[in-house]
Amino acid sequence: LLLYLLYSADTVEDEMEMATVRHRPEALELLEAQSKFTKKELQILYRGFKNECPSGVVNEETFKEIYSQFFPQGDSTTYAHFLFNAFDTDHNGSVSFEDFVMGLSILLRGTVQEKLNWAFNLYDINKDGYITKEEMLDIMKAIYDMMGKCTYPVLKEDAPRQHVESFFQKMDKNKDGVVTIDEFIESCQKDENIMRSMQLFENVI
């Protein structure tokens, strides 16, 4: 999605032109202070965002359409749904430029802690502060569906479940059936295998 928007950003956005957009983003200075992007980077990102989403916000269907172009070999619909919800931090059914920038800032330039917090939020589908085995399985199935059978030609049908069983056993330290954010972060930071597996997540952003 980032690359798609950047390819659309053929010129740096003129600030006067920005004022003509219906949903004008917060002042660039404020976004620059809150994110890890420079003013020029924000202008380029905004140009691309505006080209794809003239209203200044993107709804879930448009988000899915854009995202699907990067994974033609699989079905990215479900994963794009979960990803959209992670970007839509105020849960109003749309992603604004500000939402988009703050999410990208964490994913591209955030600390390990910030990235793991963001990942936890993605896996915590119902946003109750815990990850259940079912939630983790839903995300993992969505990733496997999106990557397509040509990427994983020899995987058995139950491969996502086996992957999750292994993950969950390591993460659920007190065996209460849910993973807290502390358990999630501690497990990821201590286990090299989990950190390597997390790269699969990073590769599909």
**105 and 36 in contact (C-beta within 8 Å)?**
yes
- Of 172, 46, 142, nearest to 100 (Cα)? 46
Q: Is 131 helix (H, G, I), strand (E, B) or coil?
A: strand
State pLDDT tens for residues 32-44: 999 999 989 998 8
Q: Is the pLDDT of residue 91 over 70?
A: yes
Q: Considering the domain 2-109, what is its CATH architecture?
A: Orthogonal Bundle (1.10)
CA distance 146 to 200: 12
State pLDDT tens for residues 51-86: 888 888 999 999 999 888 888 888 999 999 999 999
**28 and 47 in contact (C-beta within 8 Å)?**
no
To the question of pTM greater than 0.85 for the whole model, the response is no
The domain locations on the chain are 2-109, 112-203
- Of 70, 62, 202, nearest to 148 (Cα)? 70
State pLDDT tens for residues 16-33: 344 434 445 556 788 999
Instruction: Please state the separation of Cα 32 from the chain's center in Å.
Output: 20
Residue where the block lists tokens 């006067």: 16
CA distance 77 to 69: 11
Strands 94-96, 57-59: pairing is antiparallel
The CATH number of the structural domain formed by 112-203 is 1.10.238.10
Q: Is 90 helix (H, G, I), strand (E, B) or coil?
A: coil
Q: How does DSSP classify residue 45?
A: H
